[in-house]
Amino acid sequence: MLNRIKPIIKKEFRQITRDRGSFAVLLFIPAFMLMMFGYALNFDVRHIKIAVCDRDKSRLSREFINNFIQSEYFDLAYYLDDEDEIDRLMAAERVRVALVIPPDFSRLLHTGKDAKVQIIVDGANASAAATTIGYVNMAVQDYSEKITARELLHSGFTGELQPIDFRPRIWYNPELLSIKFLIPGLIGFIMMIMAVVSTALSVVKEKERGTMEQLIVSPLKPVELIIGKTIPFLCIALTATLVILIVGYALFGVVVKGSFLLLGGVTLLFLIGSLGLGLLISTIAETQQVAFMMSLLMTFLPTFLLSGFVFPIRNMPVAIQAVTYFVPARYFLEALRSIILKGAGLSAFWEQIVFLIIFAVLTITFSSYRLSKELTR
């Protein structure tokens, strides 16, 4: 069997390396895509521009404003005399938050009454607005605690104030950087597209060149042909994965906390299934254009939208959550994040491994069946 497969493997390697441009694309474009997506996809909200309309103009109102602009989250962009300006600035997207401090702000605070401050948030981007509201609440709560402590001391309180010692410990991503969550997802997203598209186009190219007839008259079995066709692309995909991990570490500081052996095994399983899917598509499509479109349709949209890569699955409607169980990238991403971010062992994601094995077996089986029909047609 090995002697029959060797010529196919050598032929595929020769064809890939002969076209140096295509070889470089297969090897380095995934890393380039990681760089582009890595810098473009960033959900961290920083330096939110705010406008302030301070109608009180007191020491307390200035302290309240400073509590916002001294943080890393807010930048004072406009100091307004007329709150009617807020609508124009928000419509032009020059500010995303506006503070309107009433003229009796300091008087109400001194008398121990509630001082109502109007805080307007641009909600056009719902995700960014939700994060912004969280930062606003933090700033307001921090200021309220300072005022409460000061007023207690001024009123003659002689005891020692003992605030709650709240020290949150954030595991796996202490800096709360979204890029560290996205990088493992990008690896799965990019590798599935590249593996499926490259394999599908490779076999369809044989049809267009007329060299498929040579395979038909050869003594090769469908499984042997599949192995010979996929091994070169599997080697290139694994090398490209390693390049992506190096780029992810060098540019974004993403360190693999778990076992590299386990990471390699999970990636190998996923790539075998993806390459099998590419071969299955190639047995259906007759032209490279059709193969390319089918590959994108079956990989890009499901992986981007339904794998948990960008959008949390738990937030999706129940019907859509059910659909995600049929998206292989979902299981790969869950395993990948467990290994890279959490350093988890096999016991933490064995269910995902089972689904990846099923994915690989099904795609290889169906592509073998379809290819056998092609060869005997």
pLDDT of residue 211: 66
- Most confident range (mean pLDDT) of 57-66, 166-175, 262-271 is 262-271
Q: What is the largest CA-CA distance in the chain?
A: 99
Lowest average pLDDT, out of 104-118, 167-181, 296-310, goes to: 167-181
Q: Measure the CA–CA gap between 96 and 132, rounded to whole angstroms.
A: 9
* pLDDT reading at 17 higher than 80: no
* pLDDT reading at 98 higher than 50: yes
As its CATH architecture, domain 48-154 has 3-Layer(aba) Sandwich (3.40)
* pLDDT reading at 168 higher than 70: no
- What's the pTM? 0.75
Lowest average pLDDT, out of 96-105, 112-121, 253-262, goes to: 112-121
Q: Measure the CA–CA gap between 241 and 38, rounded to whole angstroms.
A: 15
pLDDT tens-digit map of 195-250: 888 888 877 877 777 666 666 566 667 677 778 778 888 888 888 888 888 888 88
Number of C-beta neighbours around residue 153 at 10 A: 11
Tell me the one-letter amino acid at 309: F
Domain with CATH 3.40.1710.10 in the chain: 48-154
* pLDDT reading at 252 higher than 50: yes
Nearest to 131 by CA among 39, 41, 42, 44: 44
Lowest average pLDDT, out of 73-77, 108-112, 287-291, goes to: 108-112
Q: Are strands 97-101 and 48-54 parallel, antiparallel or unpaired?
A: parallel
* pLDDT reading at 164 higher than 50: no
* pLDDT reading at 173 higher than 70: yes
The percentage of the chain sitting over the pLDDT mark of 70, rounded to a whole number, equals 85
Q: Rounded mean pLDDT of 285-299?
A: 88
